[in-house]
């Protein structure tokens, strides 16, 4: 199952911390989106940008790709999910 969580810098592993982009304030002050599928980390996205950089001309195209990828994973996962066995 796909899992997307909002995490802080302290939630990252040492290896993940080392690979994050650094903004003017410092990467330790950024928020992160962690994308996992079946327990495996697929991606970590950062909001490490200054507030004045958060404008419509900024390239945030990864958001659309993430949503489409999540949709496709959900379709694939749904093919193998036993709905009758997992009813509330």
Is 85 domain-assigned?
A: no
Average pLDDT score over the chain: 79
In a domain, 51, yes or no: yes
- The answer to whether residues 63 and 43 touch, using CB atoms and an 8 Å cutoff, is no
Residue 68: half-sphere exposure toward Cβ, Cα within 13 Å: 5
Indicate whether this model's pTM tops 0.85.
no
Indicate whether 59 pLDDT > 80: no
Identify whether 13 is part of a domain: yes
On the question of pLDDT at 69 being above 60, the answer is yes
88 vs 69: CA distance, rounded Å = 27
Q: How far apart are CA 4 and CA 42, in angstroms?
A: 10
Residue 87 in domain: no
pLDDT for residue 57:
61
Question: Residue 50 sits in which domain range?
Answer: 2-80
Answer whether residue 88 is part of any domain: no
**C-alpha angle with apex 73: 68 to 77, nearest 5 degrees?**
150
Residue 26 lies in a domain: yes
Q: Please check whether residue 35 lies inside any domain of the structure.
A: yes
Average pLDDT value for residue range 44-57: 69
pLDDT of residue 30: 81
Q: How many domains does the chain have?
A: 1
């Amino acid at each position: 199952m796909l899992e997307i969580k909002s995490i802080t810098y302290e939630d990252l592993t040492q290896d993940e911390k080392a690979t994050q982009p650094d903004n003017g304030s410092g990467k330790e002050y950024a928020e992160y989106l962690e994308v996992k599928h079946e327990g495996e980390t697929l991606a970590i996205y950062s909001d490490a940008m200054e507030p004045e950089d958060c404008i419509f001309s900024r390239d945030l195209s990864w958001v659309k790709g993430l949503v489409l990828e999540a949709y496709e994973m959900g379709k694939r996962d749904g093919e193998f999910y036993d709905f009758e066995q997992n009813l509330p």
